[in-house]
Amino acid sequence: MTLNKFNLPDVGEGLTEAEIVSWKVRPGDAVAINDVLCEIETAKSIVELPSPFAGTVTELLVPEGVTIDVGTAIISVSDDVAGDPTPADVRAPETPVQPLYGTLPADDGARADGGAQESALAGGPLVGSGPKADAVKRRPRKAQPSAAVTLNAPEVEPIQPHTPAAVTAAPEVSAGPAAGDMDNRPTLGGTITGLVNRVLAKPPVRKIARDLGIDLADVVATGSRGEVTREDLVSYQAQRDAELDKADGFWGKAGKPQDQRIERIPVKGVRKATAKAMVESAFSAPHVSIFVDVDASRTMEFVKRLKASRDFEGIRVSPLLILAKAVIWAAARNPSVNATWVDNADGADAAEIHVKHYMNLGIAAATPRGLMVPNIKNAQDLSLKELALALNNLATTARAGKTQPAEMQGGTLTITNIGALGIDTGTPIINPGEVAIVAFGTIKQKPWVLDGEVIPRWITTLGGSFDHRVVDGDLSARFMADVAAILEEPALLLD
């Protein structure tokens, strides 16, 4: 019998340490090559470690929650296999799992048309996660000439939170034709073809979401075709209520001394890496920030038309998509914003500016593990549809904590969408290795002077921070003006 020890590998460029987040095996378990042994947290992401050996686990050498250096032995595996281990590429029979928050009565209409599964799990989703666009599969269309449908998604109005029981007790409405069955929506020709549609969900689910004030785009979809089910709503509402309960008890017992009411949080992983990067950027690159108010009314109209297009199903579109295209367009007209300042490696008083003739567009994402900035490689080559898919996949992966280190390396310019949190603008810090970042503020109706008249328009504020060593005031102003021009008139993208 041979005993093999597996050392912590370098799963990213320059990784020096990592934390064992959770073990997926126990001593005595039989493992095959490429079976997942554990999850580790690096400075950038959570990574699954596969087994390089086949055999029986003899000992876990590092407990969960401990940070260790690369090269440290973490597990021992003997080549003496007990029993018949399941190969890594063969899925073991699934054991029925009890839903976390219970199940809802089966929807007869959903069963009849092959919709939501009867016993879908109600696992708690991450707030803000969207549907997985690549899971969407359309059913063959049925001819329904007399069917009356509503093309636009229901508007959501904030209301008081409800309990999961309220979701269960919500009345059902007769199931109409699913969104995938509609064939009478308009298409957009030319280069703006290939646009996006709303989140998939059946009419009863949409009604429940509307009654509870839930935006379906914030709910993780578990349906067989990528649609949001009623079980998903139960899970989402339960998590929302749990967060409110946690807030109610945050201050703790009033009688306890204050020094006993201090929570000490170790700085490690993503938070440690973020702190180091922000200090490095703030004190090495001289920042200059500028702001511009933009009439984004035509962008809002454009997004509305895209949502009504039937060309693509299950892909979420938002004004962020148009901004991303605008940034790519404006960078091509002002190339120095897509660059890096490089000091001489010998320490001599010399430096170079490396202008990148490609765009790895970073999107700042708030995740349960902290701030991450994954980037979309070669974003300049993507069509509007491909960029929408990339944005959806990037956000879903980041919020699930599955972003890989390679996805956060090599960024050239970053967007931070602070408007998603209702913030008007800000002065963002430049991501290290870049020279520009754009903050996208919330879009809301404000009084605006147009042709001598004061009328309500959809207004947003763009904020930009630039490395003044590379980007002068004139260049930063022209770049921001170009970005604003696209938001004011998206048709310029067709030029």
Q: How many residues does the chain have?
A: 495
Q: Whose CA is closest to 407, among 357, 373, 432?
A: 373
Q: Whose CA is closest to 310, among 412, 405, 200, 402?
A: 200
294 close to 462: Cβ distance less than 8 angstroms: yes
205 close to 187: Cβ distance less than 8 angstroms: no
Q: How far is CA 128 from CA 119, 132, 400, in A?
A: 24, 13, 10
Gap between the Cα atoms of 225 and 228, Å rounded: 9
472 close to 455: Cβ distance less than 8 angstroms: no
Query: What is the layout of strands, in order, in the sheet containing 73-78?
Result: 3-7, 73-78, 55-60, 30-31
Task: State yes or no: is 162 an active-site residue.
Answer: no
Q: Which of 162, 287, 357, 468 is catalytic?
A: 468
Please give the structure tokens belonging to residue 213. 């004030």
327 close to 334: Cβ distance less than 8 angstroms: no
- Looking from the CA of 355 toward its CB, the CA atoms found within 13 Å total 10
Q: What DSSP string describes 31-64?
A: E-TT-EEEEEE-SS-EEEEEPSS-EEEEEE-S-T
| CA 266 to chain centroid | 25
Q: Which residues of 384-406 are buried (b: 16+ CB within 10 A; e: fewer)?
A: bbebbbbbbbbbbbbbbbebbbe
Gap between the Cα atoms of 193 and 195, Å rounded: 6
434: left (phi over 0), alpha (psi -120 to 50) or beta: beta
Strands 453-467 and 287-295: antiparallel
337 close to 479: Cβ distance less than 8 angstroms: yes
- How many Å is the Cα radius of gyration of the chain? 26
Q: What DSSP string describes 118-182?
A: TT---PPPPTT----GGG--PPPP---TT-----SPPPP-------HHHHHHSPP------GGG-
Please give the structure tokens belonging to residue 201. 């969900």
Active site residues: 468
